[in-house]
Amino acid sequence: MSVISKNIKQMFNNKNKTSDLESYFKPFRDNIAGVDQEFMSPLGKKKIVYADWTASGRLYRPIEEKLLNEIGPLLPIPIPKLLLLGLR
């Protein structure tokens, strides 16, 4: 039996065990906003599956918290100034 076929056989025999790759990425996955989100479809409740992570723009908690807590407070709020200029 070739090495490839042994690996494939082993992969299918370990259906109920989480892979090392899944274990490694679990902390990242757990910080994605809306992970395991479901929606009601005409065929019943379905889990949302994202296939294009680059374009989907999913929120990632550590990045969002950094923006909110460290960068956000330093940014000015220009809207009231614009409103005052419009009133003149």
Q: What is the pLDDT of residue 29?
A: 86
Q: How far apart are CA 54 and CA 27, in angstroms?
A: 19
Cβ 32 vs Cβ 60: under 8 Å: yes
Q: What is the pLDDT of residue 38?
A: 92
Give the max Cα distance, the chain. 83
In a structure prediction context, what are the per-residue pLDDT tens digits for the chain, which is 88 residues long? 676 666 666 666 665 566 888 888 888 888 988 888 899 999 999 998 877 666 667 788 998 999 899 988 888 766 665 565 555 5
Q: What is the pLDDT of residue 39?
A: 92
3-state secondary structure of 79: helix
Q: What is the pLDDT of residue 58?
A: 78
* Displacement of CA 40 from its chain's centroid (Å): 20
Q: How much is the pTM?
A: 0.51
Domain boundaries, the chain: 18-87
Instruction: Tell me the chain's radius of gyration from C-alpha atoms.
Output: 23
